[in-house]
Structure formats: structure tokens, C-alpha cells
Structure 1
Amino acid sequence: MNAALVVVVVVGLGFGVLWRRHRYPGGWAFAFSFRYESDREALANARYKARAASRRAAEAESAAQAELTSAQAAYERRLRQMEQQVARLRNPGSGARLDGLGELALFQHILIVSSGPATRSIELAGLDARFDTGRTNHSIYLTDATGRVHRAKYPHLPPAPDDQQRFDEEAVRDFTVAIQNAVANENSFRARVPHQLAQAEQQLEEARIDTRIQQAARTKLAQVRQRNRQDPHRKVADSELEEALQDWKTLTGHLPPK
């Protein structure tokens, strides 16, 4: 056995002796002598029963508290999801990107126009998209719900020295169709929004009021706490421990810790 291991063993034994003297105060004989072994066992058994009863009570209360915490988290999560749904219906934003060609990027609810460093958005609702072709450019004419028109140009002549991008007519036509289909979907979505929004707002209000699951969990927790306070087995175990502590004090003149 090397020196380090000897030190560890000695230190461990030292702590064990100190712990035993602390748990069974009054002197070496009361802590270690076989003469008082039955007295130590009586105190140890009383401690074990009291701790077991206390642990059962704590576990029951912890389980009830966890149930309440879970119910509250589920309530908050449900409200958050419904609030997000209401917010999406009120302001759907741009939505997912669907396609893009040249200066136009098509999203679920808007078109983004990038002209040099500047960008702007055009809402799809009520938008009219029309393809046209000319001598040098294919064009997509976009007329928004206010009547304002934007022309997106797609050059189609053979490459020039400036290496400007050229666009195939079929690609521009297909992109125009994609815009038209997205507009149709958006118009349909917008037509459904008022009913869906009213329904979502009503469901959100009902969800805010409905706290039955939380209240049931809160009532259960209160019942568990009340039952723990009135538990006859725990009271008997605590009483027996107090009696064992006093017996030890009578025997040794020292009151041991619980």
C-alpha cells in the first residue's frame, strides 16, 4: 500500500469516526462500545423511519408540483402558439421564397424587386402579371392593387461586350405563370383570412379562460400538502424519533442531531 493510499484511508477513517461521534454524542463508549449497541440501533431505526416518512411526503409533493408546472407550461405554450397563429393571419409577412428571375424574387405573399442597391416589395394580393416580348427585351408587367405598374426587363439579344445576362423566352414565360399562380393562391388566402382570423381570435380567448387543467393540478398539490401535514404515519415516525432523541439525552446527557 503506497503512502498516498494510506493517507486516503486514514483520512476516511478519521471522517468516519468524527461522523459517528457527531451522530452519537456523549463520549467514545456511547459511540462505539457494544454495551450501547442496542441504544444506537434504536436511535438509528427511529431516524430511518422519520427520514423515510419525510422522503415519501417530499416525493408526493414534488410529483404534484411537477404536474402543476407541466400544466402551466402547456397552457403558456398553447397560448403562445395560438398568438403566433393570430399574428401570422394579421401580418403574414413575405412567406417562403418560391422562385426568382432577374430583378424579381417571388415569395408566398410578396414580390421583391431589386433594382441596383435598392429593393422594394409588391403585395401579391390583387396583382396582375403579364408577359410581353420586344425587339431587345422580354418583359413582365406588374400592375398592383393601386394601379401602379412596374416593368421587369429581361434582355434576350446575343451577349454584348458588357456580358449582360440574357434570358430565354420560355424561362420568362414560366416565371410569369409562377407569379400568376402565386397571385391566385394569395387572393384565395386573403379571402379566407377574415373568417380564419375571427375563429383564431375566438379560440385564443377561450384558451386564455380555460385554466381547468391548471386548477385541477393546483388543487391536487394543495391536497397533497394537506395530506402530508395530517399523515398519521409521519406523525408517529416523528414522535418516535423525538422520543429516541430524548432517550439518548437521558442516557448520555447529550441531545443528538436528527
Structure 2
Amino acid sequence: MEAVRLGGVVMAVAGIWVLWRRHRYPGGWAFAFSFRHEVHREALANARNKARDAARRAAQAESAGQAQLAAARNDYERRLAQLEQKIARLRNPGIGMRLGGLGELVLFKHTLTVTSATGARSIALAGLDVRFDTGQKNHSIYLTEATGHVHRAKYPHLHTGLDDQPRFDEDAVRDFAVTIQNAVAAENSARACIPRQLKEAEKELEDARADTRAQQAARERLTQIQQRNRQDPHRKTADAELEEARQVWATLTGSIPPK
């Protein structure tokens, strides 16, 4: 059974090869297979190979030029995207990375998240006033927003034995308040620089949009390659020799062969 299948495959391949050869060398079985016409077939094949090689070299050169133009376009678009993202971050930096947390407060680079029984909300660090205080039952961190709104975060320290709430060491609360104050100072300093940075980034984006020199240079190179390919004497000679070989074959067989 295996031998039968193998024989069928061989016959199919042979049949395809015969059809291909008849197509490439039309005019009859003798012209396609006879040793008497081998010289004519070789002449046609050589002309085809020469023309195909010239066309391949031209296509490779043009493909390289197109790749350079595409790379220049991608670099241009990537640069614009980077600057647009930079401007977006300057205008809206988000919450930033997490810097720490204690009790109901979680500190991020640009905001402070407050979690209470009614839910969670974010307080912008810019312009925030932070003050530590301690009392008989609780340590407190007072947060006064730029709007004047005040929030008090409570950290119980007195053990009454009546509840299972966590207790907070005074130094830990003080240290966290200092951490918030330092983050606020860094945010205020960064915010003071944003107008200048934003102006610079917008100018940089404007200049980047106008700078299409790399694309223009790549486009000119591609045009030169295309013109050179159209005017290439070697390719013209190869194409002419192929046409001549096809005409010779047509005169010999009465059938024009494909290129």
C-alpha cells in the first residue's frame, strides 16, 4: 500500500513537471522535450534567467529604499507620540507611584488617598498643608487642602481593652506625617516647573512636526532608485535579449513562450 501511494505521488509530481515544461516551452512535445531543440531551450532559459536576475536586483534595491522611507516615517510618528505623551503627563500626571501608607491614608507621588467608612477619595498633594498632633486617645494628621477643606486622620494609641482596633506608635505616625510633608514639598517644586516644561515640550512637539527632513531624504533616495532602475542599461539589455529569445522561439515553433 505504501509503495502504491509513493508511486501515485511520483506520478503526480511528474505530471505537474510535464505540464510546467509544456507551458514554459510551448509548440509541441518535441520542442519541450527533444534533445534536438535543447540548444533553443537553453537560449530561452538563459535569457529568462538574465532578465529575472536584473529584475530581482532592481526590486531588492527598491525594497531597501522603501524600507528606509518606512523607517523614517516610523521614527517621525514615534517621536511625535513620545512628545504628545510627555505633554499629557505634564498636564495630568495621575496619582503616581505608591510611596507608603498608614491607617486610612495611602500616599502616592502626586496624591493622597483617604479611605473611610463612606468610601475612598483622593487629595492632591499640591498646596496641601500637613500637621501632626497628638491627644489622649489618638494621634492625628490634619490635612488642609488648597481649597481650605480639612481632613483629620485618626491613629488610636490608648489601649482601652474595649475594642480590637490597631494601635499606632507616635513615632510611626510622626514619621508618616513627615513623609507626606516631604512628598508635598517635592510636588510643589515639581508643579512650579510644569509651566516652563510644558512650554518647552509644546515647542519641541511643534518643531518635531515640522521636521520631515529624514522622510524627505529617504523619499528622494527612493525616487533616485526607481529612476535608476527604469534607466538601467543592463536591465534594458536583459529585457531586450529575452524578447529576442521569445521571438526566435515563436518563429521556430509558432507559439510565443511566457516570460
**Is the counterpart of residue 61 in structure 1 residue 62 in structure 2?**
yes
Q: Secondary structure at the match of 2:94?
A: coil
Shift of 1:103: 1.2
Match of residue 150 from structure 1: 151
1:198-213 to structure 2, matched below 5 A, reads 198-213=199-214
Aligned CA distance change for structure 1 residues 211 and 159 (closer, same or farther; 3 Å): farther
After superposition, the Cα gap between the structure-2 partners of 1:183 and 1:3, relative to the gap in structure 1 and judged at 3 Å, is: same
- Choose 218-227 or 65-74, whichever is displaced more: 218-227
TM superposition shift of 1:165:
2.4
1:163 Cα shift? Answer: 2.3
The residue type paired with residue 43 of structure 1 is L
**Counterpart in 1 of 2:133?**
132
**CA shift at 1:121, angstroms?**
1.4
Q: Report deviation, 1:79.
A: 0.5
Instruction: Give the superposition deviation at 1:148.
Output: 1.7
Q: TM-score, normalised by structure 2?
A: 0.96
Q: CA deviation at 1:195?
A: 1.2
Letter of the 2:177 partner, please give it: T
Q: Does 1:99 align with 2:100?
A: yes
1:11-160 correspondence runs (5 A): 11-158=12-159, 160=161
Q: d(CA) in 2 for partners of 1:66 and 1:159?
A: 76
Query: Could you tell me how far apart the structure 1 residues matched to 2:163 and 2:118 are?
Result: 19
| Secondary structure in 2 matching 1:2 | helix
- 1:18: how far off? 1.1
Matched AA of 1:230:
Q
Rounded to whole Å, the distance in 1 between the matches of 2:178 and 2:92 is 25
The answer to whether the 8 A contact 1:43-1:244 is kept is yes
- Opposite residue 23 of structure 2, the aligned amino acid is H
Partners of 1:179 and 1:102 in 2: CA distance: 13
- Deviation track 1:88-145 (CA, whole Å, cap 9, x = no partner) reads 1111111111111111111111111111252211111111111111111111001112
**Residue in 1 aligned with 2:182?**
181
Give 1:158 deviation, angstroms.
2.4
Contact 1:103/1:113 (8 A) holds in 2: yes
Q: Distance in 2 between matches of 1:173 and 1:52?
A: 80
- 1:250 is aligned to 251
The letter for the 2-side match of 1:118 is G
Take 1:216 and 1:68, find their aligned partners in 2: how far apart are those partners? 8
Change (3 A) 1:161 1:248: farther
Alignment length (residue pairs) = 258
Q: Which residue does the alignment assign to 2:223?
A: 222
**C-alpha offsets along residues 184-239 of structure 1, whole Å, 9 cap, x if unaligned?**
10011011111111111111111110100011001111111111111111111111
Contact 1:159–1:166 (8 Å) recurs in 2: no
- CA distance in structure 2 between the partners assigned to 1:88 and 1:153 by the alignment: 33
- CA contact under 8 A between 1:99 and 1:105: conserved in structure 2? yes
**Percent same amino acid at aligned positions?**
69
Give the Cα–Cα distance (whole angstroms) in 1 for the partners of residues 157 and 6 of structure 2. 87
Shift in CA distance, 59/117, structure 1 to aligned 2, threshold 3 Å: farther
Instruction: Name structure 1 gaps, 5 residues minimum.
Output: none
**TM-score, normalised on structure 1?**
0.96
Amino acid at match of 1:250: T
